[in-house]
Structure 1
Amino acid sequence: MSSRILAGAAALVAVSVLSACGTMSQAPAFDQASLPDAVKVPAGNVVSMETVGVGEITYECRDKKDAAGQTEWVFVGPKAVLNDRSGKAVGTYYGPPATWEANDGSKFTGTQVAISPASAGNIPLQLVKANPATGNGAMTDVTFVQRVATVGGVAPKSECSTATKGTKEIVKYQADYILYKAAK
């Protein structure tokens, strides 16, 4: 075969592949049906915003509750940037208390409803009920938040003992935070 025929065939294949990709719909970032029941959002709520939280969780070495003389790493709080699916920063997540804040100033706190284990080394999946928002904007009328697709964020593996009590460690993590509002 001549190089001209091969080049033409290669171009035709490339156009066909690109055309096929353009007609395929993008897969959702998560599948509500595949999530554990404990963290599924109740019926009557629809996705209002999908974000990817990228940040860190602080842990502190403290006395173990109800276990004199023993210590453990205790969750202190998160600090993350919330990005939309294109990677643009749209807000922040921090605490305590757990607070989601949009760049427009609207924000809400939430109360954990349930958690479900994630794969090893990753913080659990979570369902949070939103409290009424302050300010008007993207966070107004949010009803629930799901934390899914978690990566990292578990307590450090470094020593936590009476000798290291009070030490803080910061652990990197990432998670999708899917925000819901009541269906209209």
Structure 2
Amino acid sequence: MFSRFTTTALGGAAVLALSACASGPTMAPFSQADLPAAVQVPAGHRVAFETAAAGDITYQCQAKKNMAGQYEWVFMSPDAGLKGRKGERLGKYYGPPATWDFNDGSKVSGAQLAVAPNGSGNIPLQLVRANPAMGSGMAQGVSHIQRVATKGGVAPAAPCDASTMGSKRVVTYTADYIFWKPA
């Protein structure tokens, strides 16, 4: 499922997810015009391909650093499947480090450049700078990766305290990952 962004009059730029299924009409090319500036890919790049991710994020209850007696859920790792526009399985996403591993034998990892909020209950939108790809295939030449259209994935609401320290919780999420190459 892929989403597009439109601006609404409700408090600024809200995200409206529009979806297409495998048998649906061809979608317009991705536009980042309605994304916050922090997560926009710099000029001089073009969309190489898009994926839809659905999976899990694991969090662990840990003591807060330098805050005796306080605890928090800490992001540990993502694990998601990646599908293409027509619903075909393209690969998987996991970490750390953040890695997109494709069925054609190529993979790319990256480092976060920026995030922007995407509403309550959703992990933030994200811009990643890609490391050089490994293997030949669709990941070759990717320079940036955007995470957009996020749903879910935030730290659990379950208690995190001394009695639950070390425990793990898994939450589900979906997002679109847009892969960019220099134009």
Counterpart CA distance in 2 for 1:34 and 1:66 is 39
**Residue aligning to 1:68:** 68
User: 2:38: which partner in 1?
Assistant: 38
> What secondary structure does 2:38 align onto?
helix
Cα shift at 1:86: 1.6
The residue aligned with 1:81 is: 81
Which structure has greater helix proportion? 1
2-side partners of 1:25 and 1:60: how far apart? Answer: 41
* d(CA) in 1 for partners of 2:135, 2:100: 12
Any runs of at least 4 consecutive aligned residues in structure 1 with deviations exceeding 6 A, and if so which? none
Residues 120-144 of structure 1: CA distance to partner in whole angstroms, max 9, x if unpaired?
A: 1000000000000110001011000
Whichever residue aligns with residue 95 of structure 1, its letter is G
Question: Structure 2: how far apart are the matches of 1:102 and 1:39?
Answer: 24
The separation in 1 between residues aligned to 2:92 and 2:111, in whole angstroms, is 17
TM-score (norm 2): 0.84
Gaps of 5+ in 2: 1-24
| Length-normalised TM-score, structure 1 | 0.84
**Residue 67 of structure 1: SS of its match in structure 2?**
coil
The residue type paired with residue 36 of structure 2 is: P
Change (3 A) 1:68 1:76: same
Using the aligned pairs only, state the percent identity.
57
Kindly provide the CA deviation profile for residues 55-87 of structure 1, in whole angstroms up to 9, marking residues without a partner as x. 000000001122111100000010000101221
Deviations 1:125-184 (A, max 9, x none): 00000000110001011000000000000000001001100000000000000000111x
Residues 1:151 and 2:176 are matched in the alignment:
no
Gaps of 5+ in 1: 1-23
User: Which structure: larger Rg?
Assistant: 1
Shift of 1:52: 0.4
Q: What letter is aligned with 1:34?
A: D
* 1:25–1:82 CA distance, 2 compared to 1 (3 A): closer
Within 1, Cα distance between the matches of 2:79 and 2:87?
17
Taking the aligned partners of 2:60 and 2:126, their CA distance within structure 1 comes to 22
State the SS of the aligned residue for 2:33: helix
Q: Which residue of 2 aligns with 1:26?
A: 27
